[in-house]
Structure formats: structure tokens, C-alpha cells
């Protein structure tokens, strides 16, 4: 159940169900008073918290709290904590109940929605995971007041993606505004969050186990992940560059029109997102061909016939590299 509340007193949160709360350390710093009556396990900020050794520490604490299988683990934080909570709620004593309180934009519009959990093993990100449906996801835009700007942009990249792959309304809101005006207008920002979260739920409902339709959510992510990994660029900016690549690729194929391409560039400028990067084609191609979503013979790419019309395009490494060179050339001209 998706609960969206607009209340800076977090009224609903006072009565929320839950037995042990896993809370991101920064979210705890800012919103401590809302959780102090619960049993709490603080989770250090950062991807390292999704490691096996950290999970072991958390499990020891769950045991100390004597958490039983008919009780509820609640994850409060960004995608790191919602992923950990969802994973442990799937496997601890063969599964407990789960509640999620996402406190980053990325988690509110993406990570907490869709029933997937993922934790890391050695250098493999999200190698181990489960599908787990939470009892509730509590979303409140006021959590985002304390979020650093770069973290907001990580979430904005996903919002832009929903506009491009799925939703005219989001496209229009994005085109008529910019990052500053959205952040100043609580009502509009909340509408954007709520619509994005609902779009993700809708897409996931068509394909809960991620075998087909849901792949459209990978728009911008295949190239984005490779760039994020190679060049230490934030997730949101890398996805934005990946979407820019997807738009240019679709335009080269004669699908996306010049006007649509220009609308896209207008949006990425208005939201201070990066749209190009001078990457090394061979390095990126190597990572893209190893992506767990692709098989060895083919690279699956989400492209757009038009804005709002995504499809899966199967390409091979030779074509992919040649498109990369063409897009890099086009980006140079778009100085």
C-alpha cells in the first residue's frame, strides 16, 4: 500500500506499524524525534552498508531485539536502507513483515517501489536479492528538505525518465518548470513525487517479476551504469547521460523527432543534469556487454519510438560501438 502524506508534522508516521526500525544515520540525525519510541538499528550511510558483513551485524541486533517472524521490520532511509530492510524481511526467520519509509527522492519514486530487494556480494552490486512486497510504503515530501542537492538530482533523473518513457503530464510539468521552481512549490513537487511513484507501481504491476515489460525502466541505465562505474559520476548524472545517449540513438534511427530531442535537452538544462560525457567507447562497451540484463550475444537497449513509446532494441557490440562514436561526435557539436 502506497501512503502519500503531505504533513510536515508527519502525523501519520506517529501511528505507523513496525517492531524494529532500520534507520539511515543521516535520516536519524534529522528526524530522530519521530522514531525514538521504537526499537532502532542505525545504518551507516553508503553503499558499503549493503555488504554481507554489515548484514551479519544487523542480524545479530535483530536477534538481540528478539524479532519474531510475525513481526515487522521497517526500513527508513534511502535506497540502501530500503534494500537492506526488504532483503532481511524476506529471509530473516524465513520472512517477516516489511514497512518502508523512503527519505530520499530516489527511494520515494523508485527504490522503495516495485518489491525488489538487493544486497551486494564482494564487488557485485545487488547480486543477491529477493522479491518482497511491503505492507506499506510511507512517502512524505518533507523528508527531502534535508537532502543534499546532488541526492535530489539522483531522484530527478528517474522522474525525467518516467516523463520520457511513460507520461505526458510529467513531461509537461518538467518543461514548464525548472529545479528551483519545483523545489519552491510544495504542492507541485508533491504531485510530481506522487505521480512518479504511481507510475513505477503501475509499470511493476504489469510485470512484478521483472521478465518483460518492466525492462522499459532501464531507459538510460545500461549506458548510465557503465559510466557511473568507470568515471565515478553520481547515479543521477550518469543516468541522465545514458538517457541523452538513448535519445540520440533513437533520433539516429529516425524515431525521436528533432523537436522531441530539443525538449529533452531543455529539460536536462533546466534541472542541471549532465547530458554528455567523453567516454572511452571500448571501456564502456566491455561493461555494457557484461551487464546482467544483457546476454552475451546481444545487448538489450531501451529506445524510444517517440516520447512515451519505449521498446526493447537488441543490438550487438559492433553496432553499439559504432553508435557510441556517432553520438560522441554529435555531443561535441552540441557544445
Ligand X SMILES: NC(=O)c1ccc[n+]([C@@H]2O[C@H](COP(=O)([O-])OP(=O)(O)OC[C@H]3O[C@@H](n4cnc5c(N)ncnc54)[C@H](O)[C@@H]3O)[C@@H](O)[C@H]2O)c1
Interface ranges with ligand X (CB under 6 A): 24, 26-27, 30, 45, 47, 50, 77-81, 83, 103-104, 106-107, 110-111, 114, 116-118, 126, 143, 146-147, 151, 154
Smallest distance from the beta carbon of 300 to ligand X, in angstroms? 18
- H/E stretch holding 155 reads helix 149-165
How far is CA 45 from each of CA 1, 24, 50, 81, 83, rounded to the nearest angstrom?
26, 6, 10, 9, 13
Contact 77, 83 (CB under 8 A): no
Of 24 and 248, the one with the shorter C-beta distance to ligand X is 24
Of 83 and 248, the one with the shorter C-beta distance to ligand X is 83
Smallest distance from the beta carbon of 329 to ligand X, in angstroms? 32
Of 108 and 177, the one with the shorter C-beta distance to ligand X is 108
Of 132 and 251, the one with the shorter C-beta distance to ligand X is 132
Smallest distance from the beta carbon of 82 to ligand X, in angstroms? 7
Half-sphere exposure of 334 (CA within 13 A, CB side): 19
How far is CA 147 from each of CA 44, 78, 155, 237, 245, rounded to the nearest angstrom?
16, 10, 11, 16, 28
d(CA 58, CA 43): 9
d(CA 284, CA 207): 29
Of 4 and 175, the one with the shorter C-beta distance to ligand X is 4
Of 6 and 325, the one with the shorter C-beta distance to ligand X is 6
Residue with CB nearest ligand X? 79
For residue 1, the 8-state DSSP code is -
Contact 105, 113 (CB under 8 A): no
Smallest distance from the beta carbon of 267 to ligand X, in angstroms? 20
Smallest distance from the beta carbon of 258 to ligand X, in angstroms? 32
For residue 57, the 8-state DSSP code is H
Measuring CA to CA, which residue among 243, 216, 246, 211 is closest to residue 312? 216
Longest dimension (CA), the chain: 62
Smallest distance from the beta carbon of 217 to ligand X, in angstroms? 9
Of 117 and 315, the one with the shorter C-beta distance to ligand X is 117
Smallest distance from the beta carbon of 293 to ligand X, in angstroms? 13
Amino acid at each position: 500500500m502506497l501512503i502519500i502524506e503531505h504533513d510536515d508534522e508527519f502525523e501519520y508516521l506517529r501511528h505507523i506499524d513496525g517492531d524494529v526500525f532500520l534507520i539511515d544515520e543521516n535520516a536519524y540525525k534529522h528526524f530522530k524525534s519521530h522514531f525514538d519510541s521504537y526499537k532502532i538499528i542505525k545504518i551507516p550511510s553508503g553503499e558499503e552498508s549493503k555488504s554481507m558483513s554489515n548484514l551479519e551485524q544487523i542480524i545479530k541486533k535483530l536477534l538481540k531485539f528478539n524479532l519474531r517472524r510475525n513481526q515487522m521490520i521497517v526500513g527508513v532511509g534511502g535506497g540502501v536502507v530500503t534494500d537492506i530492510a526488504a532483503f532481511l524481511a524476506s529471509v530473516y526467520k524465513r520472512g517477516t513483515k516489511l514497512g518502508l519509509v523512503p527519505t530520499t527522492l530516489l527511494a520515494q519514486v523508485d527504490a522503495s517501489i516495485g518489491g525488489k530487494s538487493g544486497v551486494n556480494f564482494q564487488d557485485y552490486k545487488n547480486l543477491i536479492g529477493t522479491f518482497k512486497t511491503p505492507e506499506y510504503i510511507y512517502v512524505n515530501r518533507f523528508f527531502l528538505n534535508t537532502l543534499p542537492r546532488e541526492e535530489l538530482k539522483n531522484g530527478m533523473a528517474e522522474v525525467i525518465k518516467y516523463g520520457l518513457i511513460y507520461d505526458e503530464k510529467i513531461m509537461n510539468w518538467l518543461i514548464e518548470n525548472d529545479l528551483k521552481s519545483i523545489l519552491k512549490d510544495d504542492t507541485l513537487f508533491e504531485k510530481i513525487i506522487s505521480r512518479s511513484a504511481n507510475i513505477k507501481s503501475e509499470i511493476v504491476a504489469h510485470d512484478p517479476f521483472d521478465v518483460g515489460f518492466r525492462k522499459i525502466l532501464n531507459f538510460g541505465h545500461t549506458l548510465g551504469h557503465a559510466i557511473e562505474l568507470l568515471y565515478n559520476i553520481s547515479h543521477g548524472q550518469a543516468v541522465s547521460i545514458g538517457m541523452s545517449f538513448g535519445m540520440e540513438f533513437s533520433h539516429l534511427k529516425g524515431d525521436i523527432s528533432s523537436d522531441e530531442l530539443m525538449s529533452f535537452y531543455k529539460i536536462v538544462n533546466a534541472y542541471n543534469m549532465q547530458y554528455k560525457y567523453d567516454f572511452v567507447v571500448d571501456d564502456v562497451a566491455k561493461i555494457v556487454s557484461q551487464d546482467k540484463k544483457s546476454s552475451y550475444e546481444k545487448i538489450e537497449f531501451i529506445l524510444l519510438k517517440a516520447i512515451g513509446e519505449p521498446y526493447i532494441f537488441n543490438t550487438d557490440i559492433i553496432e553499439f560501438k559504432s553508435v557510441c562514436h556517432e553520438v560522441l561526435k554529435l555531443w561535441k557539436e552540441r557544445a
